[in-house]
Amino acid sequence: MNANQPSSPSDDKETGHAAIERSQNKQELQIVGRLGESAKITAIIAIMLVAFWLVKGKLKSANVTFEKVQEGISNVPYWQIGLAFALTALNYLILTGYDWIAVRHLKKSLPISKIMTGAIVGYSYGNVLGWLLGGNAVRYRLYSTWGFSLLEIVAFVTILATTFWLGLFLLAGVAFIWLPVKLTEDVREKLILDHHVWGWLFLASISVYLLACAFYRKPIRIRDFEVTLPPVQLSAMQLMVSAGDFLLASLVLYWLIPHQGNPDINFSTVLVAYLTGQIITVLTHVPGGYGILEMVLLSFFPDESSGAVVAAIVLFRVIYYFLPFIPATALVLVNEYRVKHRSADRNE
């Protein structure tokens, strides 16, 4: 047909039918997407409720009451609480390394103040609200206002996730193989494999990643998304930053449990229990790991320590999760004010 020749009524009718079909397909995809999100949220809520139900049953069998938890909190010495505050502050400083590594690997230029803001806000929101609902959403908002494109933010979050798993696998491998981890019979049964085997599997995974970073320099393409593995020096920094993060977080929890004179509670076991809770939390997407961390820690220690463990978890959530959330929210509000102020200046 000539470009200048008018279209026939039949052509217009076919075009209209095609447009209607495209619109219907789009609506159907949107409905499927909403159903998928609803199913995901329902599953997360169900997992959280099951976890709390298991925690309640565990506490009931251990004869742990609200009064005993209150007593456990009051028995924690002030110097241990002060040390937990100091370790938390140091931990959030080290968390900046996650974002710094991602910014450097993407070859972006960003002031260290903004990198620290992104790290503190992202991780405090992720701890309290979960990564899907809080951490990734607020990071997208921050970094998009700082000039990052959508694909760069996706790559950024991918690097953060890789760094997270590297440190977790390193510490879990070392703890399972060489540290004196005390596991209850119930935990041993749920591991399926011997904990030494898990340790070697974790370390083998890290070795494969480091070898890939050293020798495979081609970009990895997933549909329209392309990412290059970091050089060995940067991947070694990923290991150190993530391992330091998990060590300090576990230390905060350890110092809040009255462990003096209790042979069943040592740092190695607290470390492995905390790492296990983090793995389950990430895999289930339960916001803040509410119910998950409690369930895992109670499973790792004998019933007679349950009251002290729950008291320590309450203090841990307040010191490590909720208190950093306050300055993080202030940083978000300051960033939003600056963005609106810049927009108003441009309009003028």
Percent helix, strand and coil across the chain, each rounded to 5? 80, 0, 20
Note whether 97 and 241 are within 8 A (CB): yes
Name the residue type at position 291.
G
Measured between alpha carbons, how far is 307 from 63 in angstroms, rounded to an integer?
9
DSSP secondary structure string for all residues of 78-111: HHHHHHHHHHHHHHHHHHHHHHHHHHHHTT----
Element (H, E) at 336: helix 323-347
Q: Taking every pair of C-alpha atoms in the chain, what is the biggest distance, in angstroms?
A: 93
Say if pTM beats, i.e. exceeds, 0.75.
yes
Q: Could you tell me if residue 308 is left (phi over 0), alpha (psi between -120 and 50 degrees) or otherwise beta?
A: alpha
Note whether 148 and 156 are within 8 A (CB): yes
Note whether 172 and 199 are within 8 A (CB): yes
Measured between alpha carbons, how far is 212 from 36 in angstroms, rounded to an integer?
35
Rg of the chain over CA atoms, in angstroms? Answer: 25
Instruction: List the chain domain ranges.
Output: 10-61, 65-343
Return the SS3 of 306.
helix
Handedness of CA 92, 96, 97, 99 (dihedral sign): positive
Q: How many CB atoms lie within 10 A of CB 104?
A: 15
The token duo for 26 is 């789009």
Measured between alpha carbons, how far is 234 from 228 in angstroms, rounded to an integer?
12
The token duo for 19 is 């447009």
List per-residue pLDDT tens for the chain, 348 residues long. 444 555 555 555 555 555 555 555 555 555 544 555 677 778 888 888 888 898 888 888 888 888 889 988 998 999 999 999 999 999 999 999 999 999 999 999 999 999 999 999 999 998 888 766 667 888 899 999 999 998 889 889 889 999 999 999 999 999 989 888 877 777 887 888 888 899 999 999 999 999 999 888 788 776 666 778 899 899 999 999 999 999 999 999 999 987 665 667 889 889 999 999 998 888 888 888 899 999 999 988 888 888 888 999 999 999 999 999 999 999 999 999 888 877 666 666
DSSP secondary structure string for all residues of 121-176: HHHHHHHHH-IIIIIHHHHHHHHHHTT--HHHHHHHHHHHHHHHHHHHHHHHHHHH
Average pLDDT over the chain reads 84
Q: Which of 285, 262, 284, 289 is nearest to 274 (CA)?
A: 289
